[in-house]
Structure formats: structure tokens, C-alpha cells
């Protein structure tokens, strides 16, 4: 392929492989070997799990940047720009560097067909290697055992909370899903477990050299107005980290990140690290914004467990007026469970089609689910823009808009939020 811009490359990659998802390591490993990426020489933290992967990755990235340790981070999906997926020292890698990596991969793959995600994964690894970074953080895309990221043997494996999601690929029980996540474990490397009640399949005999489990080897608990993390290093020596003030991310995800870094031999109890992780905000994870007199909360929650966490936040942080939901989701998700998990905190529902996303549930189908769950004041729109405009005709002083249901939902709302925020700012300065 000959493509000159990142946009042209991405367009081509979307149609290069016959299926969007094809789990398995043989194809991507073969190309990685041709690129001399294996064996991998950079210390690496690999993160798998159902909910919380992005938060752990962001916490690792923030802490390492505060330490001034050269770090590369690979996550997915992105919101507004592909470059968000590949970051070095907290900054998105520029287009030209990604294009150069794609060109190398395309030349090396020969007749091997790669998915969009596999191309992206190899590009990230090429860039991180060529940058000569001190440490790398990799977020698993789907599952663990057969995900492209798993061609790398991690120095530390982190597994976050396990819940029911992606049943068609990973199974329909926590035990089956846990077994897939456990595929990132290595018998000679330690693992950090951030699920307070992990399935038995997550810790099979010989899965890892040592386990550092939430609630056993380490803990994260509220203390006064902040949080106290009780961690331990590789020799079993306790390390306490006090985080002041409220956290934007779940404390167990911040704790898992610092526990992993501690096992890498890094000092995590310093003031720069504490201050940095305490102030983390992450796009689409309980992201709180203000638009005139309306509070806006954006969250990518896309399964019942994640929506339950969102519901807990809404209940514990009540607004002065009504809570209005803007909701879109994928048809292969537990729509009934997601809606019921949040219905008690929502006064009105604005539902939208996502015509550009084939997997998206029709807004009319969502409306039927909301009605069944006892919801009222239901509006159905043909796209997120229309739902956003309609919602703001109802919203008044002290009300709150909650945007959730998928990455696509938040990605569709963010440009509208930015545009309206800029418009209001221009009006105030006029």
C-alpha cells in the first residue's frame, strides 16, 4: 500500500482485513519477528480486565511522567484522534511517526493479513523501541490470551475488575472471562490483581510467580477526605501512600498502577507522584464539565457493572435539579442491565441512533428497554447531535446531563461540548 497521510492509512486499514476482530497471535507474532521486535527488551506493564484498564494505564503514565521516567503507553480505542492510542511521556505521537511505522509494517508483513488493531499494536511497539524508552504500558484490547498485545511477555501483569462483557468472544461467565484475562500472566513474572473478588480461573496454579491481590497483599481505602494505599514491594516490605482529596478515578485502579510500578523497583511514595496521581482526570471516565449552569458528566460505561459505578457516583453527588441521560450503546451489550443499573438516578432519557456505527443499537430499541425499566420522559433522536440539542432545550439551572453507554457516545458528544463551550466563552468576552 502507498498512503501519504495518517487518515488515508487508517481508511485503508479499516478494509484491509476481512473481519474487524480476529483473535490469535500467530499472524501478528510472525510480523513482529520480521520487524525484530521479539524478543522484547523493554520493561513492560500489561493491563487486562473488563473495567478499569484505561484508568490503570493513565495512573501508570501520570506517575512515571512525574518521576521523569521515559514511558510509552498504548491504549484503545481513541475518542477524537488515532494518535491518542500511542503516547510517549504523556504526549500523543505525531502523524508522521505513525505513518513511518505503518510503512515498515506493511513492507514486513508481505502476504500476512493484519487487523486494524494489530497494525496499531505493532506501530506502537516499533515507536516505543525506536524511542529507546525506559518502560512501556500496554492495554489489552479484547480478552488477553489471544489479544495482539500478548505477544509481549510483561514484566508485571495487571488484571482489573472482571465482569460480563464481550460474551461472544470471551464466554458468558466470570470464570470463563477470567481465564481469558489470565492469558497475560507468565509463570516467572508477578501479577497485580485489582478485582476484590476475582474468579478462581484468574489465579490458576503456575499462572504467575507471585500474586499481589487487592484486599490481601495490598489495599486501597478511604481515609478522611483522601485515600490510603497500603502496598508492598517485591521483598514484601510495606509501603504506604497517602492521597489527599477526592480522586477522579477509582482508588483501586490508582492503587493497582502504583503497586505495579513498585514491583518494577520504582519509588511511588514521593510527593511528586502522590500529587500527580491524586489530580488525574481521564477523558470519558466520570469526566465532569460545566456548560453554563448545567453540569455535564461523560462516562464510557458500557456494561452493567460500569454503569452501576456511574450510578453510585450520581447518587453520592446529587445535583440541585434533574439528571438527564444522553444514552447510546452497542446492540451486543446487556442493554437491559445497563439501563436498569442507572434508571433510579435518571429523570429523563434522550436516546440516539449512531448511524455511522453498524454495531449500535437503534434508539427505538433503547426506548423500549427504558420503558420496560420504568423510565419516563423518553426522547428518540436520529443522531447524537440532535439528542444533544433536544436535551439542552429541557436542561435548566442546576440540572445535570449524563452522557454514557459507549466510547462512541462520548466521542460523539465531546465535539459538541467543546463547540458550545467555545461559543459561550466568545459570548462572555464580546
Q: Which three cell numbers stand for residue 291?
A: 456548560
Q: Looking at 233-347, which runs of residues are DSSP E strands?
A: 238-243, 287-291, 294-299, 323-327
Q: Is the pLDDT of residue 245 over 90?
A: no
Nearest to 369 by CA among 408, 405, 419: 405
Q: CB within 8 A of 402, min separation 6: which ones?
A: 296, 297, 299, 310, 314, 323, 324, 325, 326, 342, 346
**151-155, 180-184, 221-225: which has the minimum mean pLDDT?**
221-225
Rounded CA-CA distance 35/38 in Å is: 8
Share of the chain above pLDDT 90, in %: 84
Three-state SS at 415: helix
pLDDT of residue 284: 93
Q: Over the chain, what is the mean pLDDT? A: 93
Domains observed in the chain: 6-278 (3.40.1190.10), 287-429 (3.90.190.20)
pLDDT of residue 413: 97
pLDDT band at 350 (very low <50, low <70, confident <90, very high): very high
Q: Is the pLDDT of residue 16 over 90?
A: no
Three-state SS at 278: helix
Across the beta sheet with 323-327, what order do the strands follow?
287-291, 294-299, 400-404, 323-327, 348-352, 378-381
CA 79, 405, 395, 377: dihedral to nearest 10 degrees? 150
pLDDT band at 100 (very low <50, low <70, confident <90, very high): very high
pLDDT band at 47 (very low <50, low <70, confident <90, very high): very high
Q: Which residues of 82-97 are buried (b: 16+ CB within 10 A; e: fewer)?
A: bbebbbbeeeebeeeb
pLDDT of residue 1: 57
Best-predicted range by mean pLDDT among 117-121, 143-147, 198-202, 248-252? 117-121
Q: Is the pLDDT of residue 164 over 80?
A: no
Tally the residues of the chain.
Answer: 430
Q: CB within 8 A of 184, min separation 6: which ones?
A: 46, 48, 140, 144, 145, 147, 149, 150, 154, 157, 159
Q: Is the pLDDT of residue 429 over 70?
A: no
**13-17, 32-36, 191-195: which has the minimum mean pLDDT?**
13-17
Q: Which three cell numbers stand for residue 233?
A: 514491594
Rounded CA-CA distance 258/232 in Å is: 10
pLDDT of residue 203: 76
Amino acid at each position: 500500500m502507498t498512503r501519504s497521510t495518517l487518515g488515508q492509512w487508517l481508511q485503508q486499514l479499516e478494509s484491509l482485513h476481512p473481519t474487524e476482530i480476529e483473535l490469535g497471535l500467530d499472524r501478528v507474532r510472525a510480523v513482529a519477528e520480521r520487524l525484530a521486535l521479539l524478543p522484547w527488551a523493554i520493561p513492560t506493564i500489561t493491563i487486562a480486565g473488563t473495567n478499569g484498564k484505561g484508568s490503570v494505564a493513565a495512573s501508570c503514565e501520570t506517575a512515571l511522567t512525574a518521576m521523569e521516567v521515559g514511558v510509552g503507553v498504548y491504549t484503545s480505542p481513541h475518542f477524537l484522534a488515532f494518535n491518542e492510542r500511542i503516547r510517549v511521556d504523556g504526549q500523543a505521537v505525531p502523524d508522521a511517526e505513525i505513518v513511518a511505522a505503518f510503512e515498515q509494517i506493511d513492507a514486513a508483513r508481505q502476504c500476512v493479513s493484519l487487523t486494524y488493531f494489530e497494525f496499531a499494536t505493532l506501530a506502537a511497539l516499533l515507536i516505543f523501541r525506536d524511542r529507546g524508552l525506559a518502560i512501556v504500558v500496554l492495554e489489552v484490547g479484547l480478552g488477553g490470551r489471544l489479544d495482539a498485545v500478548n505477544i509481549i511477555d510483561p514484566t508485571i501483569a495487571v488484571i482489573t475488575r472482571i465482569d460480563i462483557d464481550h460474551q461472544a468472544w470471551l464466554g458468558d461467565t466470570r470464570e470463563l472471562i477470567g481465564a481469558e484475562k489470565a492469558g497475560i500472566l507468565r509463570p516467572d513474572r508477578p501479577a497485580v490483581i485489582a478485582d476484590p473478588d476475582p474468579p478462581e480461573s484468574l489465579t490458576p496454579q503456575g499462572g504467575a510467580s507471585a500474586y499481589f491481590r487487592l484486599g490481601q497483599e495490598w489495599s486501597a481505602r478511604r481515609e478522611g477526605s483522601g485515600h490510603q494505599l497500603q502496598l508492598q514491594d517485591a521483598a514484601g516490605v510495606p509501603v504506604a501512600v497517602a492521597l489527599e482529596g477526592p480522586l477522579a478515578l477509582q482508588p483501586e485502579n490508582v492503587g493497582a498502577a502504583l503497586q505495579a510500578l513498585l514491583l518494577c523497583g520504582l519509588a511511588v511514595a514521593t510527593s511528586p507522584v502522590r500529587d500527580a496521581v491524586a489530580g488525574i482526570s481521564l477523558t470519558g471516565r466520570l469526566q465532569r464539565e460545566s456548560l453554563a449552569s448545567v453540569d455535564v458528566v461523560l462516562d464510557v460505561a458500557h456494561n452493567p457493572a460500569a454503569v452501576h459505578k456511574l450510578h453510585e457516583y450520581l447518587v453520592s453527588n446529587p445535583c440541585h435539579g434533574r439528571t438527564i441521560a444522553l444514552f447510546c450503546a452497542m446492540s451486543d451489550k446487556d442493554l437491559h442491565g445497563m439501563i436498569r443499573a442507572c434508571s433510579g438516578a435518571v429523570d429523563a432519557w434522550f436516546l440516539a441512533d449512531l448511524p455511522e456505527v453498524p454495531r449500535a443499537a437503534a434508539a427505538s430499541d433503547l426506548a423500549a428497554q427504558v420503558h420496560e425499566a420504568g423510565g419516563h420522559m423518553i426522547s428518540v433522536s436520529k443522531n447524537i447531535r440532535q439528542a444533544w440539542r433536544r436535551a439542552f432545550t429541557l436542561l435548566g439551572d442546576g440540572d445535570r446531563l449524563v452522557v454514557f453507554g459507549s466510547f462512541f457516545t462520548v466521542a460523539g458528544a465531546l465535539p459538541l461540548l467543546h463547540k458550545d463551550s467555545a461559543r459561550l466563552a466568545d459570548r462572555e468576552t464580546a
